[in-house]
Chains A and B, each alone.
Chain A
Amino acid sequence: MAPDDLFTLPAPSSDLLDRLHRSLEDAAVAEGILDVAYTTTDTPVGSLLLAATERGVVRIAYDVEDHERVLESLSTRLSSRILKSPRRLDGLRRELDEYFAGTRRAFDLDLDLSLSKGFRQLVQQHLPDIAYGHTESYKLLAEFVGNPKAVRAVGTACATNPLPIVVPCHRVLRSDGTLGGYVGGLAAKTALLELESAHA
């Protein structure tokens, strides 16, 4: 018997590993060192990555953004103390379920806006003021935030929104009524606008 054969110890069951993982999450929360908790959830616009710090929801990412890359970016920009820990996202998941069922028109959650700075964050803070089922143009939004010439910068602020759906950048269109861009792809933008017009 070679040493290598010796160490074909049976792998621990996935139940046991899940239980150990949960106890690690609990201990990390108790000690205040679970800097970023995340989970994924299936929605009508695909699988979404949801991430929250202790301050609030910090990132929602579409499948097309590549969840692995988004997590690596959170690790670099916020903290590498990241664990998959769905419980911190329970409230967000419930509100998203209600939103996609057409029974929720606004989100009532603590948000952590630390991934956006300056003018982009200013634009993103204004986005929830656009009512459910309504749309606004990039141009009008630029005027609203007091910088009518910054139409392009407003477009960038929408395109880099770290909290799509909850911060409704999908309600911003071009002045001619065409869709413009969307972080989750145009099919997702269309689906959200159709959902809202059906329940408005």
Chain B
Amino acid sequence: MNTKQPFEKVVASHATTVLRVCRAVLDVSEADDAWSETFLAALRAYPDLPADANVQAWLVTIAHRKSIDIVRARSRAAIPLADLPDRVSTLGVPGAGDGGDLIDALARLPDKQRRAVAYHHLGGLPYLEVAQLLGGTPEAARRAAADGIKSLRTSLADTTSKGAL
């Protein structure tokens, strides 16, 4: 018996989590596009998703693929310039309490640590599945996430010596 929830329920339940994951692995300006691409792809494939599937893990996996596409498109579009033009930062203002410090700190992590932290701690993926997305063993994924958390802790302690985030 197919008792699949209407897709609107999926959006309502997971919109925030998927946006947080997208913000953690991409620039702010790209995260909205990644969110839209993720849910559009999910809507397309939803009728074929087994009724007992872990929907959040499925969405995080799609978000991972979409974020990789966006990063690839960005590097293809990049044009070498002799002088970099000034531009307004898309990152948060430090200490503004909008999560900008954390987003900045995540952006400074090596890619594998950044993704391991995002997919496990924000997306709720077990390390086995994180490893399937990033390559390597589950133990390596666990270590990447742990190293990432350690760096974030150090880096946030430097920027916000005021105390807890």
Contact = CB atoms under 8 A, between A and B. Distances in A.
Interface of A: 1, 3-12, 16-17, 20-21, 23-24, 27-28, 31, 33-34, 36, 38, 71-72, 74-76, 79-84
B77 interface: no
B7 A31 contact: no
A95 B102 CA distance: 50
Interface stretch (B12-20, B67-75, B81-89, B107-115): B12-20
Nearest to A51: B6
B15 A82 contact: no
A21 B165 contact: no
A31 B122 contact: no
A68 to B, nearest CB: 9
Contacts of B24: 9
Interface residues of B, number: 38
A82 B7 CA distance: 5
A11 to B, nearest CB: 6
Given A23-B36, A28-B43, A3 B121 contact: yes
Contacts of B153: 1, 6
Contact of A12 (B3, B16, B122): B16
25 contacts: A1-B165, A3-B121, A4-B121, A5-B165, A6-B153, A7-B122, A9-B24, A9-B99, A11-B16, A12-B20, A17-B19, A20-B19, A28-B40, A31-B44, A74-B6, A75-B4, A75-B5, A76-B2, A80-B4, A80-B5, A80-B6, A80-B47, A82-B6, A83-B7, A83-B8
A127 to B, nearest CB: 28
B152 A6 contact: yes
A75 B44 CA distance: 14
B36 A24 contact: yes
Nearest to A70: B6
B32 A20 contact: yes
A91 to B, nearest CB: 21
